[in-house]
């Protein structure tokens, strides 16, 4: 039931921070800062040098908590297996890849492919994708979520790109399961302001709590 547990953790987290960094050390600091602020979902991208080692370190330190550590920018099955062997609890791609879906199914790890069209989403569902990453969210908008959920009410959607504190409530009102937050959340890290990242994370969690209480 590992797959189900990880999916429930993702849904409970509500906000998934997309963590990038020029070095493994910086990416680790960003992830620590995000978690310190209460955001429990981490998508550590494979654009980070030695990403698998960073994932392994984060899983070792946070694996027994309610945090959920995943791998992002996974473009092929080899990278997916590397991430899974490092302990990644979910795998995210910018686009759908059948070989990655197969690898994730084999190891019972949730796969979240980036999709933009109804056809891509249906293809991903047929391949066993658990959570669809609506990407880029800034281009699609919350209206796309409502439109898609009409013919596919069974779909779980996580928009990434274009999600911020001001519009997060619109995404959840449209019916998303979780949201992915990148530069709007971790932006202060560009200037090594990790305390600023933690403060942003606190604001995101306060807004999520407000949204869920209003439902």
Q: Residue 67 contacts by C-beta under 8 Å, 6 or more apart in sequence?
A: 9, 13, 35, 40, 41, 42, 58
Q: Considering the candidates 9, 26, 40, 133, report the single residue annotated as catalytic.
A: 133
Contact yes or no for 180/13 (Cβ under 8 A): no
Q: Residue 3 contacts by C-beta under 8 Å, 6 or more apart in sequence?
A: 108, 109, 110, 130
Q: Considering the candidates 43, 102, 120, 203, report the single residue annotated as catalytic.
A: 43
Paired tokens of 115: 């999709």
In this structure, the strands spanning 179-181 and 91-93 are unpaired
Give yes or no: 133 in active site.
Answer: yes
Contact yes or no for 175/146 (Cβ under 8 A): yes
Give yes or no: 207 in active site.
Answer: no
146/165 Cα distance (integer angstroms): 20
Q: Where in the sequence numbering do the catalytic residues fall?
A: 43, 133
């Amino acid at each position: 039931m590992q797959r189900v547990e990880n999916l429930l953790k993702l849904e409970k987290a509500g906000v998934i921070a997309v963590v990038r960094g020029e070095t493994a050390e910086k990416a680790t600091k960003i992830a620590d800062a995000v978690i310190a602020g209460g955001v429990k979902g981490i998508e550590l991208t494979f654009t980070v040098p030695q990403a698998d080692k960073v994932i392994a370190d984060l899983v070792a330190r946070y694996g027994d908590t309610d945090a959920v550590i995943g791998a992002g920018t996974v473009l092929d099955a080899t990278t997916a297996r590397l991430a899974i062997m490092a302990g990644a609890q979910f795998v995210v791609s910018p686009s759908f890849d059948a070989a990655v879906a197969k690898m994730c199914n084999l190891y019972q790890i949730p796969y979240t492919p980036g999709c933009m069209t109804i056809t891509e989403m249906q293809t991903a569902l047929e391949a066993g994708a658990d959570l669809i990453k609506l990407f880029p969210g800034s281009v699609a908008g919350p209206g796309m979520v409502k439109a898609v959920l009409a013919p596919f009410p069974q779909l779980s959607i996580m928009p990434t790109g274009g999600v911020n504190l001001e519009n997060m409530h619109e995404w959840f009102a449209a019916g998303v399961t979780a949201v992915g937050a990148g530069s709007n959340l971790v932006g202060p890290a560009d200037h090594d302001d990790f305390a600023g990242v933690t403060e942003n994370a606190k604001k995101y969690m306060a807004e999520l709590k407000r949204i869920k209480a209003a439902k």
